[in-house]
Each structure stands twice: as C-alpha cells, then as structure tokens.
Amino acid sequence: MSTTIAKSVGNSNPLIDHHLGADPFALTYNGRVYIYMSSDNYEYNPDGSIRENGFNNLKSVFVISSEDMVNWTDHGAIPVAGANGANGGQGIAKWAGGSWAPAAAVKNINGKDKFFLYFANGGAGIGVLTADSPIGPWHDPLGRALVTSSTPGVAGVVWLFDPAVFVDSDGTGYLYCGGGIPGGQRPSQSQIANPRTARVLRLGADMTSIVGSAVTIDAPFMFEDSGIHKHNGVYYYSYCINFSGSHPGNIPPGEIGYMTSRSPMGPFTYAGHFLKNPGSFFGAGGNNHHCVFQFKNQWYVVYHAQTVSLALYGSGKGYRSPHINPLYHNGDGSIREVAANYAGVGQLSNLNPYNRVEAETIGWNGRILTEKSYAWGGPESNQNVTGIQNGDWVAVGNADFGSGGARSFKANVASTSGGKIEVRLDSVNGRLVGTLNVPNTGGMQNWRTAETSINGATGIHKLFFVFTGNGYGNLFNFDYWQFS
C-alpha cells in the first residue's frame, strides 16, 4: 500500500503534498479559503537528481481551496508569465517573465464581485490579473506592469516584489511590496537595520491603477514578504526580518516581525514578532513567507516550509509547501507567538458526500498526482486525479453519511486498462463498504460515469478511495465522485 509523503493521516499540515507551493496568500470568499502560491517545481541536474531551487520555475500560480481547512481542492495552475513563450505559449501576461509571490483580493465594483491577482515579475515589478471568480479565467487588463521602478515613490526599493493586497472597509485598496537591503554586497549595519525598502501604495477604485505616490514603511531589518491585516481598527504590517548583521533581541533574524498603525498607509511602529523561521519547527529553514487571514471567526497564518521536499529527499533544497496554524491577538493588541506544527488546524465542518465532490479534493493521499482535466461539466480549471498505480489512494476527512447511510456510489473515470476503486472507512485497510469497477473507456480523457452499491456507510468517517489494478503505469483517471 502506498504511503503518505509529509501529510500524515489526521494531520492538517502541509496542506497538500502531491505537489509543492510557495509564498502562500489567502483569500476568503463565500465560505471558502483560497490559497494562491508560487509554482515551486523541482529543478533537475543532468543526471536526474534534484538540484537546489533556483526559482526558475516560478512562472505560474498554483491555487487550492477548502471550506473545512483539511480537505483541499486542487484548482491547478494559472499560467501567468507569458514572455518568451513561457507556459507553453499560454502565459496570460505576455510582458512578464515570472510570477512570484501572488496576492489576491475581491472587491464589489458596480454591483459585481471582481477578483484581482497581483504577482511579482521576479524582483522587477508588480503585475495584476483580473477575473470574475476566484479561480478564473484570468485576464491581463493592462498589458504591462502595474508597479515599476519608475512608479512615484518607489525609488530605492532593491527588490520590487512580494505584494500583499488589502481592501479596507470603505472599499479602498492598498498594495504593499518591496524588500532587499541597499548597499550591494557589503551593506553597512545602518543599511541592514533600516533598509527603507518596504512600500505601501493606494490603489485606484478599479484596483488596477495607482493613486499618488508610494509611501515608505520604515520596517526595521526589512528583508522581504509584506503582509497586512486589520484587527480591532489597528492595521498590522508584517514582514520577514533579514538575516544580515547584528540584531537586537526583539528583532530576530529570519522571523516574521510586525508593525502597527491606525492608518493603512502608516506611519507604522515596530511591535514585535510572531512566527519563527520554519527551520525552528520543521528542520529545514530558508526564507519565511506568510499571510495572516481571518476565516469563520478565527485568525490564522498561512506560511511555507520545506516539509515535502525534506520527506522525499532528506533535504529541503529550497522547495516549499503550504501550512496553516491558528494566530491569536492578545487583549492588548499584540500577537502571540505562533506554534507551527504538522498537526495544523482541526476540520472546521463535515464534508457532505451526497454532493458532487471533485476527486482532486484531498485530505490525504498515497502518491497520486493531479492534472488538467477535459471532462465535461467540471469547474473552471478542472483537474483530475492521475498517476494512479496499484495500492495508491486518496482520502477525505469527516464525511457525514448521516443515520440513513449511503446506498450507492458513482465516479467519473477514464481508463485504457481499467481497475477498481475500493471504498473504505477510517483507514486504507478500514471497513470495505463498496467496490467500483473502473471500465476501459477507450482513453485517459474519455470519461464515463460508473456506479456501485454501498453497504454500511453511516455516520461520520474518514473516507478512503483505494485504487487497485493489474495494469502498468497509470491505471485510470478520476474526475469526481458522489454518494446517493
């Protein structure tokens, strides 16, 4: 039987381990949280071994979403960068060579919710895409960068990247970005201590223009990774503290520090730190990138750590994966130190197995992959589970079958060899309540709905789909499932 990689059954971190994802940013909308990530993908040496991450694959934005914080639906990759034929010539922003560290926002404009995805073109500027849903399709409204080195007030920023976006209660949008230490290879201690490379810009009503000049945030020991949230009328600007020079005890290297203000454009005052470097928790350090968000009346921080690559290769090698842990504000407004761990967050709500559920909604898995699906009737950016071999599996947490229980199970599948889906409760070897025969459909994107009877599925259970078959390679693809 296939084993998990880094997300053990019962844990919530990392959020996914069937692929990577760095620099996470959270958007909450209509009872779901969407996580947008840089497209960390492994880079290889000529002999096929994994090389240190050179960040050469950050040309797309990965998106996952959840309503319960344990089961995450994979929405695939947004092909953002389009310069020089990037993303197979399908890149949306034809001027951009990269799409690093995304940030997303929603705003109601003329009675309609509009979505905005900001990204860094490497360290050279900030772009924006627009859509009518949080998963696209996405468009480039400007055909150029939104923020460049010639934007008023931006002079002096070493790295013009790592955007964070915030829409205030009055509908005004703000963009935070920047980073780096001036002084080249040998910065002075004063440049290290006060780089003055963070900026905040007021967005126009359309969210795709800049109003006035950027304002400097004098974040002490600023390195990168702007973050912003508002709690009890206070604006919290947070960032990754740099690693250079000598630091006072309250501004520790490589941790997430924060500043507060009564205005979204500052001035901000340094207040403390709340998230240690991921190396403190998971054994592989590197950069620290985060986003603070509120979901279903609780505050959280999403951040990345090298847990999946560490589990696979014994060294993180710079490849990141997303994690979430609770965040707490103290009564005086300060932020409590976050306890990052593999346990993560408890499941916030049960999953309804009588709704159509995308097969790429994954709590835990045994060595499957996902890919773009061409099945009819799926959501935008529909994916399917693939890479299925004998003994692989997918599971979701807390499926509530009710007291009456399920009587039948159907799945949309495609195959050239066929196989079986064993439906089991609570574990990969748990009670078998049904077995679905997957037919040969004549092609790996020739989809057919197959059905089988179910017996004994009542109450709330972890739900496991265990895949078996005699063929070699990918036995079949799996698009969605539903119980009746």
DSSP secondary structure code for residue 439 in this structure: P
Instruction: Indicate the SS3 state at residue 38.
Output: strand
- Decide if 224 is catalytic: yes
Dist CA 347 CA 292 (whole Å): 19
Give yes or no for a contact between 292 and 327, defined as CB atoms under 8 angstroms apart.
Answer: yes
CA–CA dist 365, 314 (Å, integer):
20
Tell me the C-alpha distance between 466 and 285, whole Å.
Answer: 35
Q: In 218-373, where do the E strands start and end?
A: 222-231, 234-241, 256-261, 269-275, 290-295, 298-305, 321-326, 357-358, 361-362, 364-366, 369-372
Secondary structure string (H, E, C) spanning 362-406: ECEEECCEEEECCCCCCCCCCEEEECCCCCCEEEEEEEECCCCCC
- What is each CA distance from 377 to 66, 409, 476, in whole angstroms? 20, 18, 19
- From 17, 40, 224, 392, active-site residue: 224
The DSSP bridge partners found for residue 56 are none
Q: Which member of 23, 67, 255, 392 is catalytic?
A: 23
How far apart are alpha carbons 29 and 328 in whole angstroms? 21
Return the active site residues: 23, 224
